[in-house]
Amino acid sequence: MLVKTQIQRILSGWAMVLPALAFYAVFSLYPIIGGIALSFYRWDGAGPKTFVGFRNYLYALRDGIVSVAFWNNTMYTLGILLGGVFIGLLLAVTLTRGFRGRNVYKTTFFVPRILTQVVVAMVWGWIFNPFFGPLQFIGKNLGVPLFTRGWLGDPQLALPALMIAGSWTYFGFCMVIFLAGLANVDLTLFDAAKIDGANNWQIFFFVTVPQLRPIITMVVLYTIIDSFKVFDLVYLLTKGGPGNATQIVSTYIYQKAFSEAQVGYGASIAVILTAFLVVLSAGYIKIRERGEA
């Protein structure tokens, strides 16, 4: 009887897990395995596949645009970390102080996060418009030549413009996560720091930040992965241009796989990106764990 009860529990457990496991296998695991397998073939998306082994990977390692795309992706990610995570943390600390209307500010700052990337691209495309955009209007009236330039068409300003647009969708999300973390900090440490004569910046860097280390690790890791996967915003605003000034890995994969019908080569770059993110994430977590030990 006892054995029968244990078997029933095991079967009921699997019955609850299997639907989600099947969904994951069909829509996540199978495409991943299929993409890895496809990276070893030359295929135009319609005709027969030709097995080429590691040739796609060797070509990707020699492809200069792949290096440019990874570099641009890295710069974009650093910009998001500074403009999204750091500003989000500052906003969270500011909003923990009691003042009237702070719930309105929380909602306002978080709204960009719930917008689709298409809407975000439309908003910032209008802001950066060199003919009738508000940035152009402000630059002319205040006499700031930098604002009157066509940011999205300038090789030197296009990537910073994307960083600004991307950060706008991140800091509200980071703010909410940090607000949840700040609700559990030890307030006695703040009082002790004030008694010792610490100013607000010293309290922020030496009291607040250390208590938020696990949350900062999670937010930074999420931001790095998400920033390296960004596609919609960059494609809709610049399509990787001008030239390759804003070419990132995802837009280059799209260009090769769908625009130039080199599906196998595009898959190989996607596999390289995935492997890069796995190694980067594991290394970052290892370094953070060693620093907290």
> What whole-number distance in Å separates Cα of residue 154 and Cα of residue 229?
23
Distances (CA, A) of 64 to 34, 137, 153, 160, 230: 26, 38, 22, 22, 20
- pLDDT, residue 263, reads 94
Residue pair 284/220 in contact (Cβ under 8 Å)? The answer is: yes
Amino acid in the structure at residue 148: T
pLDDT at 235: 95
CATH number of 39-292: 1.10.3720.10
Q: What is the pLDDT of residue 27?
A: 87
CA distance 246 to 166: 13
Per-residue pLDDT reduced to its tens digit, 187-234: 788 778 888 888 888 888 888 888 888 899 889 999 999 999 999 999
Q: Could you tell me the two tokens for 284?
A: 């970052």
Given this model, what pLDDT does residue 291 score?
63
Spans of the chain, pLDDT less than 50: none
Phi, psi (5° rounding) for residue 41?
Answer: -125, 155
The per-residue pLDDT for 17 is: 86
> What pLDDT was estimated at residue 237?
95
